[in-house]
Amino acid sequence: MQAVMPAEKMIDMFTYKITSSQSIKEISNKVPEACEKYKFSLLTSYNYHEIVESKGFPIKRKVFVYEICQAKTAAAMLTDFPHFSIFMPCKLAIYENDGKTVISTMNMEIMLNAVKANQELFKEATTLFNTLKSLMDSLSDD
C-alpha cells in the first residue's frame, strides 16, 4: 500500500481529526463531562508530553491521550471479533499543532468493514463511531 500512497496520506486516511481555536487546556478540561454526556467510560488518560519529558525527551507541544469505551459494544466486538482488541479501547488524542488544538481518533470506518458479516454489530459499532465524532465536535465548539 505504501508504494502506491505516501505515508502522510495513509496516516490521514486512518485518522479522523478536527481542529479548534480553543486552547488545549479548555478542551482537555471538557473531556470527562463530554464522555459522561455521550455515554463513554473514561478509562485512563495520559499526559504524553510529561511522560516523554520524564524519560529525558522533552517536546514543545502538549499531547493528551484518553482511552474511552462503551462496554456494551466492546463486549459484542470481543465476543465475535477478538482480533479487533488491538484497536480497543477507543483512543482520543488532543494535541497542539500550528497554533490550533487538534482532536483526533482512529478513522473506524475503514476498520469496521471487517465486521460487516455481523450486521447488528456493524450497525452498533458505526453508531458508536458517530457518537464519538459528536463528542469530538462538542469538545471543539467555542
Specify the fold of 16-140.
Answer: TATA-Binding Protein (3.30.310)
Q: Which tens digits make up the pLDDT trace of 26-45?
A: 999 999 999 999 999 999 99
- Of 91, 93, 95, nearest to 24 by C-alpha is 95
Residue type present at position 111? M
Q: For the chain, what percent of residues have pLDDT higher than 90?
A: 77
> Would you place residue 98 in the very low, low, confident or very high pLDDT band (cuts 50, 70, 90)?
very high
**Domain locations in the chain as residue ranges:** 16-140
What is the value of pTM for the model shown?
A: 0.90
